[in-house]
Amino acid sequence: MYIILGGTGQVGSATARALLDEGEAVTIVTRDESHGKDLYDAGAKIVVADVRNVEALKGVFRLGKRAFLLNPPAPPSSATDKEERANVAAIMSALDGSGLEKVVAASTYGAFDGECCGDLTILHAFELALKRQTIPAAINRAGYYMSNWAGMAELVQQNGALPSFFPAALTIPMVAPADLGIAAARRLMSGTDDVGIEHIEGPERYTANDVAAAFADMIGRKVEVQEVPRDALENTFREFGFSEEAAASYACMTRRLIDGKTMPLDEPTFGSTSLKSYIASVLS
């Protein structure tokens, strides 16, 4: 049995589906049972639990032998760094004495030791905590999620504008949830000696201009990138309802990506889902 944290989100559900496609038994951990109906219909078991409830989560881990770990994002209106570090602490406490023989954790390109820089620092702390404990741990660092652009689909269709926190011509690694799910499932099913960091990205690297072009091809109209100026990042995040702390943290993360500080040093593993095919799936 494989246990999937965040199993109703983009990457968690893709991991669950990849395992189900291999005929494996899967249990989804979710805070809202109604969100997992499609996976339940596909053969997964659903367990309702909050990652902060250490004893409940440990009990879920004991149902299986291996687990996919995804630190759930805190609401951006909250003090995200504080909340997400508390999630990490709870997950690590639940692993202690769980009996799991291996875990695979979702992390991000450019994770580094520091404070208040979004996923880059939170997930680095998660990585370090996993390395300190005794269960063999594989860590998949992901490129920029293609799914981050999906939230722009309605705006793009309405007025032909694609907001971007990055320069329009900046080339960055991007990856589709399906490819991350396949990679996570592969490492979940591999031996306990398959541990450490692996970088995962799509078949090519893309720009915001490429994203706009992919949308344009699908909707049959011109799409223009609207860059958010570097010095306006915090204000823009605040306008979106982010707390002061979260706005500063996400701005830090965005600037590091723009400055090339999140590029992998190791040779990545390449997925097969192109940006164009992912955008087509979003609009379909």
Mind listing the pLDDT tens digit for each residue in 151-168?
899 989 999 999 999 999
Distance of CA 130 to the CA centre of its chain: 17
What mean pLDDT comes out for the span 187-194?
A: 98
CA–CA gap between residue 261 and residue 250 (Å, rounded): 15
Q: Which residue range is the domain that position 140 belongs to?
A: 2-144+176-201+263-271
Task: Give yes or no for a contact between 2 and 66, defined as CB atoms under 8 angstroms apart.
Answer: yes
**pLDDT surpasses 80 at 34:** no
State how many domains the chain has. 1
In a domain, 96, yes or no: yes
Residue 246: predicted pLDDT: 97
Instruction: Compute, in degrees rounded to 10, the torsion defined by CA atoms 61, 66, 67, 68.
Output: 180
Residue 6: predicted pLDDT: 87
Residue 37: predicted pLDDT: 83
Residue 243: predicted pLDDT: 97
Counting runs of H as helices and runs of E as strands, what totals does the chain give? 11, 13
Q: What is the pLDDT of residues 91-117, one digit of tens each?
A: 999 999 999 999 999 999 999 999 999
Give the containing element (helix H, strand E) for 206.
strand 205-206
In a domain, 195, yes or no: yes
In a domain, 238, yes or no: no
Task: Give yes or no for a contact between 238 and 247, defined as CB atoms under 8 angstroms apart.
Answer: yes
In 115-157, which ranges are E strands?
Answer: 137-142, 144-145
**pLDDT surpasses 80 at 229:** yes
In a domain, 249, yes or no: no
Closest of 54, 70, 244, 237 to residue 140, by C-alpha: 70
Percentage of the chain lying above the pLDDT 70 cut = 100
In a domain, 189, yes or no: yes
Distance of CA 72 to the CA centre of its chain: 9
In a domain, 168, yes or no: no
Instruction: Mean pLDDT check: name the lowest of 12-16, 47-51, 84-88, 145-149.
Output: 47-51
Q: What is the mean pLDDT of the chain?
A: 95
Structure tokens at 207: 């720009």
Residue 38: predicted pLDDT: 87
In a domain, 57, yes or no: yes
In a domain, 122, yes or no: yes
**pLDDT surpasses 90 at 33:** no
CATH code at position 78: 3.40.50.720
CA–CA gap between residue 250 and residue 234 (Å, rounded): 8
Beta-bridged to residue 48, according to DSSP, are: 30
Closest of 126, 33, 119 to residue 73, by C-alpha: 119
CA–CA gap between residue 283 and residue 143 (Å, rounded): 22
Residue 25: predicted pLDDT: 96
**pLDDT surpasses 90 at 36:** no
